[in-house]
Amino acid sequence: MRRLSLALAASALTAAVAASFPAAAFQIDPLTREPLVEPQYGRPQATPVPRQIVAYNGGHAPGTVVVSTSERRLYYVLGDGRAVRYGIGVGRPGFTWGGVQTVTRKAEWPSWRPPAQMLRRRPDLPRFMEGGPENPLGARAMYLGSTLYRIHGSNEPETIGEAVSSGCIRMVNEDVIDLYERVKVGTRVVVQR
């Protein structure tokens, strides 16, 4: 009886939360049965890789960004043996890379000009896209050195945890906004294979 009462209470709470938002503003997460409220910067972006503060002893200074392409995780080093861990999408086979770069520029809702190499592979791509929810760079971008690579948001959250990009590091918009607020121009970024 108590289990039934808890289930009814949870169902009533979900219904109450759902009723407080316009019908188009949320979806129900199929795993948790909780409403996914549409964020102000695009559609809901659930990810199977939740952002977490984890134990981290990688030997990097606080403020360093460490990308582990094999794990498909990005760590923002906090210090004191801790880091914020994010799920990421990485370069597909043939587009993986490693090394040390520096964040040279940051942009909110960046516009996108596919590089010439990408246009040769995909002539169907637009030559320019204004920033916004449909832009493949998502809500934020951090440009890495003089490379063509960026750490950026994505309008394809299902690609997080996958190897599908042309070398850029993808994050769901909620996570890239969180990282963007932590990272400064000049931040060291270590990309490990």
CA distance 137 to 154: 5
Q: Which is the catalytic residue, given 168, 176, 179, 191? A: 168
Q: Is 60 a catalytic residue?
A: no
Q: Which is the catalytic residue, given 51, 73, 140, 152? A: 152
Q: Is 168 a catalytic residue?
A: yes
Report the catalytic residues: 152, 168
